[in-house]
Amino acid sequence: MSDAHPLTEDVAVARTFLFVPGDRPDRFGKAAACGADVVILDLEDAVAPDRKEEARGHVAAWLDAGNQAVVRVNGAGTAWYGDDLAALAGRTGVVMVPKAEDPAELARLVRTLPVGTGILPLIETAAGIVGAVGVCAAPSVVRAAFGSVDLAAQLGVEHTSHDALRHARSALVLAAAAAGRPAPVDGVTTDVRDETVLRADLGHAVALGYGGKLCVHPRQVPLANEGFSPTREQVSWARDVVAAAGDGSVTVVDGQMVDRPVLLRARAVLARAVPAGAGSPPARGSGPAGTRLDRS
């Protein structure tokens, strides 16, 4: 929409989203400087109940200072939801909604927030997956994210199992496409030390059609940025396809037929490509180099 906050544009195309606890303002700037495309200031799981009010104050101060970040509020129906929304009054941006499963609730939320605020629903329940098309199509939804850990707990499966959550992940990709939203953002990799695990998770998400990753540690950001960026070979292929297709006529490139769907795929690859030498797009905000952001 025309009044949308500029951060919604970042969220729509971001590869990496880095969580930082809302009660740790000393880490806000570090998170913004570590190379993540978007920072998420968390008022939910990362903040203990007795520190919620303090966290709201820190998040409000950060936003009022001109910095940009997605804010994850506590879920509708919790004791903290109303206070979280009150803290965001007058502060346009993007709000992450946990356990999103009811389009009507999202519509009510939008009416309480400043015009132009975007919604990033975190779909992490069975009901959310089953109703994902409606959630993704709800007013002001910019993009959806997959909550693997909470969903796995509800289903009684391991959140690390690709097989156990493959159907749910694919269902969200289909729902996002059906609603005309960007490719969804994959859930967190809880192992923050083993790069092999992270690379496997990234490869799986990319293969299923995801376009970004929720991160819980700065060291995950460079690999996730790389994982969701086209390779040089893919960019070269895409350029060859676009050059050969010209006006969209059916042609052949390297022995493979190129028609309109292939051309659209090539254009999408080029749209995701980072200009050579540009590195990772910086997150909005500023601060010294990042350090560990999670509580454990």
* Res. 248 pLDDT band, cuts 50 70 90: low
pLDDT digits (tens, 9 = 90+) for 224-246: 999 998 777 777 767 777 777 76
pLDDT digits (tens, 9 = 90+) for 83-117: 999 999 888 899 999 999 999 999 999 999 999 99
Q: How many domains does the chain have?
A: 2
Residue 236 and residue 161 share a domain: no
> With 60 as the cut, is the pLDDT of residue 288 above it?
no
**CATH label of the domain that carries residue 67:** 3.20.20.60
Residue 35 and residue 150 share a domain: yes
Predicted confidence at residue 33, as pLDDT, reads: 95
Euclidean distance between CA atoms 102 and 119, whole angstroms: 13
| Mean pLDDT of the residues in the chain | 88
Residue 80 and residue 37 share a domain: yes
Residue 182 and residue 48 share a domain: yes
Predicted confidence at residue 225, as pLDDT, reads: 95
Predicted confidence at residue 177, as pLDDT, reads: 97
Residue 181 and residue 124 share a domain: yes
101: number of CA atoms within 13 Å, CB side? 13
User: At 258, which helix (H) or strand (E)?
Assistant: strand 256-258
Inside any domain, residue 1? no
Inside any domain, residue 201? yes
Euclidean distance between CA atoms 179 and 281, whole angstroms: 27
Helix, strand, coil fractions of the chain, as percent rounded to 5: 45, 15, 40
Domain membership of residue 95 as a residue range: 6-229
**Which residues lie closer than 8 Å to 209 by C-beta, 6 or more apart?**
170, 173, 177, 183
pTM of this structure: 0.85
